[in-house]
Chain A
């Protein structure tokens, strides 16, 4: 299947113009910045703190904005127009993911600058964050597709905001409550463990398993999202 960059760019540009006038989006961006400013007052923030902010950015910007953007397209009946155009599902979803991705990148960079986080190996960390982005974009798209309105979307995203934003805090309880063992395999937790190993100077041989788990989350949610999108194309 060939992708039309012109179509992807057109959807991205449209979203960029549209979102620049959207107050909901501006208010969401404030959340991770607020945490970054707050934690920058601590002397030598730990990896946990840096990644609390990065994970919060991923779920509150990447997933939440994506979810809101898709839900709004549904609410205003504009998604149907895109679906009836010659644009493919990949062109539409890629185009619609770029704004969330750009906002995520900018926010993470600003937050890292505020908290003074400089990874030991930037390339490794960049790869892990990009893989995480795939998962969070898929999550946002999926939740946007199953909701009917922006208000509904902003409610349905809440449990995920807590789970993936702050869920890694539960890791300390996994020995006590075995039911929480799944927390160890969540993409946010994996990202933190990955970052620890990067800071310890470990190489790819010690890192790939974390990347694989994050990638598996991304692939699973991607398959689910495309399936739901295909269903939404039909007006059954």
Chain B
């Protein structure tokens, strides 16, 4: 499958501080790619380089075949949508007026406003002034604005960080639908459940370097200790080794009707991140 993003030996240095060092990865068309790491790991720097807001110190970042120097071209910007923590809205205008401006900037019919507001569950609020919105609602309006022109590639920097679980779920469903329709998503997050839910592949970024890159299920398998936990009716939990040795014991408990639940002990992405980097994803 065609690569939408190709990053080779990317490096960004601010003075004496290295924000990115020898970063290499590709994102395929239609993929949801998760860039995971704690604050200060280089996630936002990567997004800024890929969206033409920052020049790399060295290395190459190509998106849709546009090289570093062409990432501020109109034709490129028409194809991407960017939601970062420094995106803003016009406080004295309504949600509708804010989105209307962007419809005109992207040459999109205003009917599209209704569709994106439905996606972020704000249809009834469109006349509300932005200054009256909660943080979660602001984030949803920003996301709606990002989706107005149906971009081929979405850059989302912590898109659900300010949202409650119900709204996060709705946004996730919307993003999955967009992804099914062929939109490529580049997502940065430190929410591991969000990454597991949405991402086809994830990269762990730590101190400006990619430490791991694979599909979440492959990572979980690779870092699993292959044990099984049985929860029994008498309240005990038994951890068993995988393979035939454990299978005999499982059969024994199952046949005597003592089992409440059986779990394979795969680590979460958060556990793997701690294993690899020695620090939490916060």
Which residues from chain A sit less than 8 Å from chain B, CB to CB? 4, 6-7, 9-11, 13-14, 17-18, 21-22, 76-78, 80-82, 84-88, 233-236
Contact check, A80 vs B88: say whether CB atoms are below 8 A apart: yes
**CB-defined A-B contacts under 8 Å, sample of 19:** A4-B107, A6-B104, A14-B90, A14-B93, A18-B92, A18-B93, A77-B86, A80-B86, A80-B87, A80-B88, A81-B102, A82-B105, A84-B53, A84-B77, A86-B74, A86-B77, A86-B106, A233-B52, A235-B48
- Apart from the given pairs A82-B105, A85-B106, A87-B105, 10 other A-B contacts in the complex at a CB distance below 8 Å: A10-B104, A14-B93, A76-B90, A80-B88, A81-B87, A81-B145, A84-B51, A84-B77, A86-B75, A233-B52
| B45 nearest CB across to chain A (Å) | 9
Per-residue interface assignment for chain B, residues 193 to 224, with 1 indicating a CB less than 8 Å from any chain A CB and 0 otherwise: 00000000000000000000000000000000
Tell me whether B78 is interfacial, beta carbon within 8 Å.
Answer: yes
A111 to chain B, nearest CB (A): 27
B144 at the interface (CB under 8 A from A): no
Q: How far is the CB of B282 from chain A (nearest CB, A)?
A: 24
Q: Whose C-beta in chain B lies nearest to the C-beta of A11?
A: B101
A6 to B110, CA, bound (A): 13
Closest Cβ–Cβ distance, residue B150 to chain A (whole Å): 14
User: What chain A residues lie within 8 Å of B82 (beta carbons)?
Assistant: 84
Known A-B contacts A77-B88, A80-B88; the reply to A234 vs B53 at CB < 8 A is: yes
Q: Is the CB of B54 within 8 A of A235?
A: yes
* Interface residue from A6, A11, A13, A21 paired with B92 (Cβ < 8 Å): A21
B: residues with CB less than 8 A from A are 48, 51-55, 72, 74-75, 77-78, 82, 86-93, 97, 100-102, 104-107, 145
Which residue from chain A places its CB closest to the CB of B49 in the assembled complex? Answer: A235
Q: Are A234 and B89 in contact (CB under 8 A)?
A: no
A88 contacts which of B52, B74, B86, B93 (Cβ < 8 Å)? B74
CB neighbours of B55 from chain A (8 A): 234, 236
B105–A85 touching, CB < 8 Å: yes
- Given known pairs A10-B105, A236-B55, the reply for A78 and B77 (CB within 8 Å) is no
B87–A233 touching, CB < 8 Å: no
Is A233's CB under 8 angstroms from B104's CB? Answer: no
In the complex the two chains form, what is the Cα distance from A18 to B51 in whole Å? Answer: 28
Q: Which residues of A lie under 8 Å from residue B97 when comparing CB positions?
A: 14, 17
Measured CB to CB, the closest approach of chain B to A74, in angstroms, equals 9
Does A17 lie within 8 Å of B93, measured CB to CB? Answer: yes
Cα-based distance from A80 to B104 in the complex (angstroms): 17
CA A14 – CA B102 in complex, angstroms?
Answer: 10
